[in-house]
Amino acid sequence: MALIEIAAKHYAVRSDDKKIRLKILRKGNVKCRCEIRYETMDGTATVAGADYVSVARNVVFEAGEIEKLVDVQILNGKEPEPDETFYVKLLLTDPATAEGIRIGEMNPAEITIIGKVDASTIQFKDRRLIVKESAGCARVKLERRGTPLEPASATISTVDAEAKAGIDYAELKKEVRFESGETEKVVEVEIHDTAQLDKNVSFRVNLTNVSGAATLGDRRSMLVSITSDDEFAAKLAEANRLCKSLLEEEEHLPWRQAWRKQFVAAMNVNDGDVSCSTCSLSKVFGF
């Protein structure tokens, strides 16, 4: 399966720039030739408002190619304007014949046309992320605020807390590079499923070593919490067991039958007609 997506979800460009350049990536199967389409869509920035030039074109990845660069022309307004946005979306050229090709999560991309230039910073988008251990990975988002006129980079690294590298997650240390115009990046940290009941452990992800045309923002550390998938299922099973036990113990009480009929009637859309109900209490509690 070939997965094709845009390198970043958010881009920014000055209103006096002539174009914005986006990178389209191919992952997974890169041995075959594949074709996708990209199109622009209006937001607060519009074609009619002379903010940018509409584009709708096909892009071909030949065998072995993993990235393509595409440009969208930006129009310079005569008067200063507030920030405006439009979008670039990837589409399958023909869904009926696009077997083996999938569009990834990084789609569409939002492009902001900036009216005012501000200093650029790099930081985490959130201070905390909660992920189930069966998710496979934690998707950590970095954002670049201000005006991303030139490329910049930062180092992201994991630090143990209750969660331990090599057991609960895979240790990570890498440089993340923002190209000119890119304002968001996603870094995946591998999560290990230990099948531990009632699991609730955490580790930290830190940002350091910012270089290029940016400085370090306020959110430079992020807590990632890993929770067990089994916790909810276990609690539901225990509640079901307790309900069945209580109902069985109360079977001998004289008011039991009347109470049971009222309970069934209240919980079934057919006024207690369990035989005609699509989901009866007898299936849930075993009576």
Q: What is the mean pLDDT of residues 202-215?
A: 94
Percent of the chain topping pLDDT 70: 79
Report the predicted TM-score, pTM, of the whole model to 2 decimal places: 0.58
Domains 2-114 and 121-228 are alike in CATH topology? yes
Domain 2-114 has CATH 3.40.50.200: no
**156-194: per-residue pLDDT in tens?**
999 999 999 999 999 999 999 999 889 999 999 999 988
pLDDT at 273: 45
Reported confidence tier of residue 11, pLDDT bands at 50, 70, 90: very high
Q: Where in the chain are the domains? A: 2-114, 121-228, 237-285
Pick the CATH number of 121-228 from 3.40.50.1100, 3.30.565.10, 3.10.20.600, 2.60.40.2030: 2.60.40.2030
pLDDT digits (tens, 9 = 90+) for 35-87: 999 999 999 999 887 899 999 999 999 999 999 999 999 987 666 678 899 99
Q: Which long-range contacts (CB under 8 A, 24 or more apart) does 71-76 make?
A: 71/19, 71/20, 71/21, 71/22, 72/19, 72/20, 72/22, 72/40, 72/111, 73/18, 73/19, 74/13, 74/15, 74/17, 74/18, 74/19, 74/20, 74/113, 75/50, 75/51, 76/15, 76/16, 76/18
